[in-house]
Structure 1
């Protein structure tokens, strides 16, 4: 399944150091996308294991949602504090730090013997992921603006879905179910860290890193309209992801009568991968059209899920997940494409971090409330019904917000002149490639 400038102006060109003489190409874009996939795969890897941990350590359903919420809160804090840092010190140092911290988180989870270690591992995961998401998204745009925008919309779903299915499969069929998936991910992060060291830097250093560490939730004035148009649908689709990440595994087990960890992770996998396919398919459609389609599919999928829960239909549940997944992918892609292509190179990490804050609020807050409702007597099925109805309401709110915002909040392809090309010489390589 990844904010922040108000009146900060573009830094003067003479304050920037020169980016790497080597020009980043498709290989860099693939590497960056793979890091997004592995980070989000690691974030969803514990999902099928929660039932195993509950049996081992004897905790209640509220603990599962608290663990889920702790991760989301850590991501939010990291986005607020570190979201803009890569705009000032470069992308590579931030990515190397995040991969190192993620490796430490995997080590903690591999050796976990109780809830304290599980909470610590999830906090470290959240800090690492939040610190990296803005830098990764911005770096992909630096390399190639058009392909980077598409990658920002597609690869989070791939990572989220792969993590759930890979973890469920290893738990079900491989030895050392609470260790192997984390050990595999440690190996992946080490290889990616070595590749980042060899990757050309995509943005020059600029002053102001201390100011960038002050948490802010503002955006450049020219992007406020597009952000207002995109925020409701981004919140709504990630609330849907929160449903499948927190309640989905238990709901799939109860409806199917199966204790399989693969079945437990299948809902999140279908949602995420269908979302990525939808985003890829709709790449050429206008962002506003894509958002409208996402809202319609999100509402339809949620209503179908509600019907499946009421009729206790396993097939209906997974079929409705595919519809909802298409809505997830379309809504998320439309929101991202409405905003990020308009951001200047020195604004990219900050603006993406603002969008990810909205996403993770949607991911964490409704899930935490749902966990509290389950514990206080509402029950899983009733809470699932209420949650899906809430997502339908969110879809309606997203539609109202979209209709009320400026209809012209679309990415504008800039017209380049020889002078503007020269002026952008210290900017990203991808901006020139995108023309």
Structure 2
């Protein structure tokens, strides 16, 4: 996630505060690790409670919808009340959601836990990203982009290990995450507040999502890259473990979660590696890798080879990170500072709806035609959208003139 623009009330430190940057980065990793931790457990829940694959994807989508709604409402809240109060409230909410996961004994409890987790994550996302920017204006934006992806991958992997080899597979990971968050909550008191509270907190809760006219054409050009990358991410977080188990024939949560681990972690590495490249080059590299990665992944599915499937996933992960970063850096500088927050909200609407709605469609299709036919169609759609974005990037013209037009008064 990228931080929202700093407000006038944000104090820019004269020197980087690496301790605070490290703390907020680790906290972001913990929140996103908690968001992906249930993924390796979905099959266990499904077998224990007997719900359909469609309902499985609904559990994932409920988290995304809650996160998106709260992110639209609370994105600017920490600019008014401060970073620490918002972060503290989100930590409490996240611990409560982990408690719901711990006590869950039905699908309704699971959905309730995911909704509360989405609310907590939505509240904290922009506040943590802004806090990282406040702590270090050079390293902060990079960490704000890498930490969520790394957290999602690590959360799935650690949960897979605990579910496979540790006792109490449906409970231990939540106890561990709650304990980590409790410690981080105590340490929050040692962080220096970077925002002076100011009035307007209630007014800031009005949902904002707007695309300035001068940004619409560039956004339309890169939208297929955003949709394809996030659609793949949504599928990996909901049905990815089921796909790996079906291809391998091995019913092992650790094996199943490898696809969920590889995609975001490789994406984080690609963001770090390609951050100095131009947005145009990043989109070209990202969409090209998505096309190749999806083709290799589908080849692994067809040949029932987990190695080829995971290799394709890793290649697609490069594309996931690069395409998302390139698309964001293509459109965000074109809007004037006063409109970037609303544009960021609109941008994330596209991201999260792509992840949730297409994953839900995949779940419904799986219920009717089976998992493997669904992944062939789903993978073909992702590859086709990536190809459209790749061709659009090849033919794109310089957008510098459009960026200046945004800044001109009407």
TM-score, normalised via structure 2 length: 0.89
Q: Given the superposition, is the C-alpha separation of residues 4 and 143 from structure 1 closer, same or farther in structure 2, using an over 3 Å criterion?
A: closer
Q: Which of 268, 276, 289 does residue 284 from structure 1 map onto?
A: 276
Partner of 2:139: 147
Q: Which of 78, 89, 92 does residue 86 from structure 1 map onto?
A: 78
Partner of 1:259: 251
How do 1:225-264 residues align onto structure 2 when only pairs under 5 Å count?
A: 231-264=223-256
Partner of 1:37: 29
Q: Given the superposition, is the C-alpha separation of residues 201 and 339 from structure 1 closer, same or farther in structure 2, using an over 3 Å criterion?
A: farther
* 2:123 aligned with 1:131: yes
Q: 1:67-126: CA deviations, max 9, x gaps?
A: 111111111111121122222222222111111100100011011111111111000011
Partner of 2:390: 399
How do 1:349-360 residues align onto structure 2 when only pairs under 5 Å count?
A: 352-360=344-352
Q: 1:135-174: CA deviations, max 9, x gaps?
A: 2222222222331221122222211111111111000000
1:187 deviates by: 1.1
Decide which moves more: 279-288 or 353-362.
353-362
- Partners of 1:409 and 1:36 in 2: how far apart? 34
Q: Given the superposition, is the C-alpha separation of residues 33 and 347 from structure 1 closer, same or farther in structure 2, using an over 3 Å criterion?
A: farther
Q: Given the superposition, is the C-alpha separation of residues 192 and 89 from structure 1 closer, same or farther in structure 2, using an over 3 Å criterion?
A: same
* 2:101 aligned with 1:72: no
Q: 1:170-194: CA deviations, max 9, x gaps?
A: 0000011111100111011112222
How do 1:186-205 residues align onto structure 2 when only pairs under 5 Å count?
A: 186-205=178-197
Decide which moves more: 401-410 or 258-267.
401-410
- Partners of 2:340 and 2:374 in 1: how far apart? 38
What SS class does the counterpart of residue 257 from structure 2 fall into? helix
**In 1, are the aligned partners of 2:13 and 2:134 still within 8 Å (CA)?**
no
Decide which moves more: 318-327 or 303-312.
303-312
What SS class does the counterpart of residue 139 from structure 2 fall into? helix
Partner of 1:62: 54
- Partners of 1:364 and 1:2 in 2: how far apart? 20
What SS class does the counterpart of residue 202 from structure 2 fall into? helix
**In 2, are the aligned partners of 1:101 and 1:124 still within 8 Å (CA)?**
yes
1:344 deviates by: 8.3
How do 1:22-421 residues align onto structure 2 when only pairs under 5 Å count?
A: 25-218=17-210, 231-338=223-330, 352-375=344-367, 377-399=368-390, 402=393, 407-408=398-399
1:314 deviates by: 1.5
**In 2, are the aligned partners of 1:234 and 1:332 still within 8 Å (CA)?**
yes
- Partners of 1:400 and 1:121 in 2: how far apart? 41
1:341 deviates by: 7.0
Q: CA RMSD in A?
A: 2.9
Q: Given the superposition, is the C-alpha separation of residues 350 and 204 from structure 1 closer, same or farther in structure 2, using an over 3 Å criterion?
A: farther
1:33 deviates by: 1.3
Decide which moves more: 32-41 or 338-347.
338-347
Q: Given the superposition, is the C-alpha separation of residues 41 and 353 from structure 1 closer, same or farther in structure 2, using an over 3 Å criterion?
A: farther
- Partners of 1:275 and 1:181 in 2: how far apart? 24
Q: Given the superposition, is the C-alpha separation of residues 229 and 31 from structure 1 closer, same or farther in structure 2, using an over 3 Å criterion?
A: farther
What SS class does the counterpart of residue 189 from structure 2 fall into? helix
- Partners of 1:80 and 1:144 in 2: how far apart? 25
Decide which moves more: 131-140 or 242-251.
131-140
User: Unaligned stretches of 5+ in structure 1?
Assistant: 413-435
Q: Given the superposition, is the C-alpha separation of residues 236 and 47 from structure 1 closer, same or farther in structure 2, using an over 3 Å criterion?
A: same
1:395 deviates by: 0.9
Q: More relative contact order in 1 or in 2 (CA 8 Å, sep 6+)? A: 1
1:19 deviates by: 4.6
What SS class does the counterpart of residue 198 from structure 1 fall into? coil
TM-score, normalised via structure 1 length: 0.84
**In 1, are the aligned partners of 2:3 and 2:129 still within 8 Å (CA)?**
no
Q: Given the superposition, is the C-alpha separation of residues 245 and 330 from structure 1 closer, same or farther in structure 2, using an over 3 Å criterion?
A: same
- Partners of 1:213 and 1:380 in 2: how far apart? 41
- Partners of 1:114 and 1:74 in 2: how far apart? 20
**In 1, are the aligned partners of 2:3 and 2:144 still within 8 Å (CA)?**
no
Decide which moves more: 389-398 or 123-132.
389-398
